[in-house]
Amino acid sequence: MVKVSIGIPLHNGEEYLRQCLNSIIEQTFKDFEVILVDDGSTDNSFVICQEYVAKDSRFRLIHQKNKGTAGTRNTCLKYMHGEFITWIDSDDKIKPDYLEKLLQVQAETGAQMINCVCYDIKDGI
């Protein structure tokens, strides 16, 4: 069992997908798995995901016909084996210590759920 399962539901997310997946690979905490569920994308999202699955054994890819956000998250949950889970959208980029900090807060507080701040970057601002 891994410590953290990262669920990434995606549909037509090719524009930011590589940045998202690279930010996950760059995590300082390494005991995680990534469950990618491609929800019937018609762009190159599935092909991009296949590249990452081929180069990192922590990544798993499931393709399904479009079921929407809830259906895609439920599919992610079926394949997750981590002690903890986190959701990252295909257009998100996380800091290298994201998982490490989440687990640090959990260990310090014993919390069952942790929420974090999200920053949007638009037009370079």
Q: pTM for this structure?
A: 0.92
- Rounded to an integer, what distance in angstroms lies between the CA atom of residue 9 and that of residue 23? 16
Q: Are 32 and 58 in contact (CB under 8 A)?
A: yes
Give the domain 4-109 fold. Answer: Spore Coat Polysaccharide Biosynthesis Protein SpsA; Chain A (3.90.550)
- C-alpha atoms less than 13 angstroms from C-alpha of 62 in its C-beta half-sphere: 22
Report, as an integer, the average pLDDT of 22-48.
97
Predicted pLDDT at 10: 96
Q: Supply the mean pLDDT for the chain.
A: 93
The secondary structure of 74-113 as a DSSP string is: HHHHHH---SEEEE--TT----TTHHHHHHHHHHHH--S-
pLDDT per residue as tens digits for the range 49-108: 999 999 999 999 999 999 999 999 999 999 999 999 999 999 999 999 999 999 999 999
Predicted pLDDT at 120: 59
Dmax (CA) of the chain: 43
Predicted pLDDT at 123: 63
The answer, yes or no, to whether residue 117 has pLDDT greater than 80, is: no
Coil, helix or strand at residue 9: strand
Confidence of residue 115 (pLDDT cuts 50, 70, 90): confident
Residue 4 main-chain phi, psi, to 5 deg: -130, 130
